[in-house]
Structures are given as C-alpha cells and as structure tokens.
Amino acid sequence: ETKPRTPVVWVHGLECTCCSESFIRSAHPLAKDVVLSMISLDYDDTLMAAAGHAAEAAFEETIAKYKGNYILAVEGNPPLNEDGMFCITGGKPFVEKLRHAAEGAKAIISWGACASYGCVQAAAPNPTQATPVHKVITDKPIIKVPGCPPIAEVMTGVITYMLTFDRMPELDRQGRPAMFYSQRIHDKCYRRPHFDAGQFVEHWDDENARKGYCLYKMGCKGPTTYNACSTVRWNGGVSFPIQSGHGCIGCSEDGFWDQGSFYDRL
C-alpha cells in the first residue's frame, strides 16, 4: 500500500477507442480500482479531465518527471505516409508523439490489433501506411495485447501482473503474454465436441445452428486464433462471439482483415 503507483501514459493514434471501451468494463479487477488505486494514469487523452493545451502540458510534465519509470500504453498506430499527416494530435503527427513518449518509457504495451498488427487501417492498400508500434519503436520491450478489442480482463490482467511482480509477463514468439495467448479459441471452445463429432452448422439459422453445433463451416477461425475468449470470455465472463452464435473472425491474429476473416462464406 505504501509503494508508489506506477505512472502510465496512454496515447492514441489511428484507432476507434474501443480498446478503451473494453478496458473500462473490466470486472475483475474493476477498471476503477486499476485507475484509482493500482496505477497512476497521468495522461490519457480520452479518459483524463484535461483537454487541449492543459492535456499536452500534462503529457510533457509526466514523461519528463518519470523518465525511465513509466509504462507507455499505446492504442492505435501511427500512419507514416506523408510525414505522418494522417493522424495529428496536439498539432503534431502522432508518430512524433509516440517516439517522444517511447524515449523515457520502461516498457510499452500495444493495446489491440491496431497497435499490435495494424488492423483495418493497415489493410491493403493501406494508403496512410498505418504501421504497428513495434515497427516504429525498436529499442524498447513491447508487450502485444491483440484483439479488436482485447478482452477487458486480459488488459487489466497484464497490468496487474506487471505491477505485482514488477516485471514483464512471459511472452510468446509474437510478443504476446503467454498466459492469455498460448491456446487457440478452438482448444477450449464449448462447441468442440460437435466439431469432433462432425456436427456442423451448414447455413445461418438452420436446425443445426439452433442445436448449437460447430461453426467451422460458417467460417469460424477458432482453430487458428490464439486468444482467451473461450476461457475468460467477455462481459465479466458472460459470453463470447461463438456463444452468441457467430464464429470467431480471428480478431487477435496478425492481418485479420487481409486474411479474409470476415465472412469467407455467407
């Protein structure tokens, strides 16, 4: 309780803000406990009360005061084309802000598919040259927490681990926390017995869909997607896409837009 709270600087590039929307819905730990008791969220352009010049002043003050000691959380990515002019924040290209903030960070968290892999804005032909964080910042430890968005409890779980043990979580070959991304959706899917038995939904809303059969023939990407949805689930553990009747679209995999994850088979 006497330990100083770890400063976190949370910046936003090209993104939709739903990673933040996911984060604030964390049920365990509650997002409010993370923000008010566990970390010191000294800058976050979407959650902070300050705006405009006051917010930018807080940004500069925080990265100067806590140089070498803060965690940089990145939501979204920088577009590099035309000197970064496709994403301007505080009057400057976001890529400049990202590089500036990364200089004094002790570690970087890439939230979601945008920061980790590029997501929709990096889909072909990627006119803005939207680029994932690790391809721009190459001299800092980076933790990728992919998903579009990532699961709330995975986000707060990563932060909780780093604060509790004062180290990075174990990462897999792609730089994702192994504790949440080492298994495929398919490995723990409750519809797996139907897959093994060859019982598949053949058309949307057919009799087999009503029976809850496997969604593989409807394009489910669960067999090739590494994420914790079939174990941690969403909305405080209530459900996940497959439980709602739709196959996984592989939102936590690299390049999921260009790989045709959306509706291969209608």
The site for ligand SF4 (CB under 6 A) is made up of 15-16, 18-19, 75-76, 112-114, 119, 148-149, 185-186, 189, 191-192, 195, 214-216, 220, 222-223, 242, 247-248
The residue number whose beta carbon is nearest to ligand F3S equals 248
Cα 103-107-110 angle, rounded to 5 deg: 100
Q: Does 78 bind ligand F3S (CB under 6 A)?
A: no
Distance CA 57, CA 50 (A): 10
DSSP string, 224-257: G-B-STTTT-BTTTTB-GGGGT-----TTSTTTT
Which secondary structure element, helix H or strand E, spans residue 97, and what is its range? helix 94-103
> Interface with ligand F3S includes 225 (CB under 6 A)?
yes
| DSSP secondary structure of 139-161 | SS-EEEE-SSS--HHHHHHHHHH
Pick the closer one to ligand SF4 by CB: 71 or 215: 215
Name the minimum Å distance from CB 203 to ligand F3S. 21
Q: Which of 147, 157, 177, 219 binds ligand F3S (CB under 6 A)?
A: 147
Tokens of 256: 């999921």
- The reply to whether 214 sits near ligand F3S by the rule CB under 6 A is no
Q: Which does 249 bind (CB under 5 to 8 A by kind): ligand SF4, ligand F3S, none?
A: ligand F3S
Residue 214's alpha-carbon distances to 33, 81, 98, 183, 243, in angstroms, are: 38, 43, 43, 18, 10
State which residue, 59 or 257, has the beta carbon closest to ligand SF4. Answer: 257
Instruction: Out of 58, 185, 201, 215, point to the residue binding ligand F3S (CB under 6 A).
Output: 185
| Binding partner selected for residue 15 from ligand SF4, ligand F3S, none, CB under the kind-specific 5 to 8 Å limit | ligand SF4
Q: Tokens in use for 227?
A: 């994420």
From residue 38, alpha-carbon distances to 3, 35, 77, 108 in Å are: 10, 6, 26, 17
Touching ligand F3S, residues 80-109 (CB under 6 A): none
* 229 touching ligand F3S, by CB under 6 A: yes
- Residue 78 · residue 63 · CB < 8 Å: no
Minimum distance between the CB of residue 73 and ligand SF4, rounded to whole angstroms? 12
- Quote the crossing angle between the two packed helices 52-65 and 94-103, to the nearest 10°: 30
Query: With binding defined as CB under 6 A, does residue 156 bind ligand F3S?
Result: no
Nearest Cα to Cα of residue 218 among 227, 229, 209? 209
Site string for ligand F3S, 240-259 (x = CB under 6 A): xxx-----xxxxx-------
Binding site for ligand F3S (CB under 6 A): 147, 185, 225, 227, 229, 240-242, 248-252
